[in-house]
Structure 1
Amino acid sequence: MTSSSFLFLVIGCALVTWLPRILPFTVADKLVFPEKVNVFLSYLPLCILTALLIQSLLNFRQGQWPTIKLPELVACLPALVVGYYTKDLMKIVIVGIIGIALLRFLLGVL
């Protein structure tokens, strides 16, 4: 593969990745939605983050009930407390990363 075709491939992949993620925001920014739609859309970030949190705390296997990942759940608790009091996403992420790192270190040492 030549360098120019590789460059076109990278640019094409960037456009295909960028367009479906950015284009709806630019179009929706110019539209005026009814109040009910705005209320509905305000819940989407919370729903998406909750789904990501639950997915990271549970092991899913076909034909079985989900099982809890105990270290991730223990590391999640201080992050949830920090989130409740600070409402700062950066602090939540830092506390969660430090919590899981400490747990993995302690479990690896024991």
Structure 2
Amino acid sequence: MLSFKFVLLVIVGCGLVTWLTRVIPFILLKKFELPISFVEFLSFVPVVIMSALWFNGLFVQHLGHLPSLNIENLLASIPTVISAIISKNLLVIVAVGILSLAIIRFLA
């Protein structure tokens, strides 16, 4: 069995590494100025992440076969996409997606 000190050191070490990898970019970016083209490129990152998560949840993988459509997620994504077009607010988009999926699962 692992000793308490070892487990504590692993937890503290993992926390420190996680914290440093999130803080160091902010410290470095305070001292340097990024080119405008790079900042514009980075503005697409949230959209790409949300799209990847959406497509991942939209299809169900079957080994040896083509993926099938997840009907619940497809139906829930319709009001979510409409709210995204109208509001362009990430909080509203996530809230509408969660609520619409909850309503679909409640009714089914």
When normalised by structure 2's length, the TM-score is: 0.78
1:73 aligns to what? 74
Structure 2: stretches of 5+ with no match in the other structure: none
CA distance in 2, matches of 1:47, 1:30: 27
1:43 aligns to what? 44
CA distance in 2, matches of 1:104, 1:25: 41
- SS of 1:8's partner is helix
RMSD: 2.1
- SS of 2:27's partner is helix
Deviation at 1:6, TM superposition (A): 4.2
1:32 aligns to what? 33
2:107 aligns to what? 106
CA distance in 1, matches of 2:52, 2:30: 25
Deviates more, 1:87-96 or 1:5-14: 5-14
CA pair 20-62 structure 1, distance change in 2 beyond 3 A: farther
When normalised by structure 1's length, the TM-score is: 0.77
Deviation at 1:100, TM superposition (A): 0.9
CA distance in 1, matches of 2:31, 2:65: 46
- SS of 1:95's partner is helix
How many aligned residue pairs are there? 106
Deviation at 1:106, TM superposition (A): 1.4
Identity %: 35
- SS of 1:50's partner is helix
2:88 aligns to what? 87
CA distance in 1, matches of 2:10, 2:22: 19
Structure 1: stretches of 5+ with no match in the other structure: none
